[in-house]
Amino acid sequence: MFDLLIVAVLRNTEKQPLFTIPERVEMLREVTKKNGPMWKWTYSKACSSTTARKRGAGVVLRGIRAVSDYEYELQMR
């Protein structure tokens, strides 16, 4: 479906994550290494839309962990 997937690990300064950004990027590299060179990783302190715009993304796929994530995203439309 896509020639290149850019996975952005974003930092929310209001949260204390269990893993550091480098640790999260390394975990992503490990689980996606079998998929070849179509993956690239980046991290940012900016919001996802700003990061996507800077990277020239045509499509943004977002992970949803709970229904509340979906409801929050829906209100942003």
The one-letter code for the residue type at 27 is M
**pLDDT given at position 19:** 92
Give 14-53 pLDDT, tens digit per residue: 888 899 988 988 888 888 888 776 777 777 777 778 888 8
Q: Which residue would you say has higher pLDDT here, 43 or 8? A: 8
Confidence tier at 77 by pLDDT (50, 70, 90): low
Q: Which residue would you say has higher pLDDT here, 59 or 43? A: 59
Q: Are 31 and 50 in contact (CB under 8 A)?
A: no
Q: What phi and psi values does residue 29 have, to the nearest 5 degrees?
A: -60, -40
pLDDT over 70 (residue 76): no
Q: Are 28 and 43 in contact (CB under 8 A)?
A: no
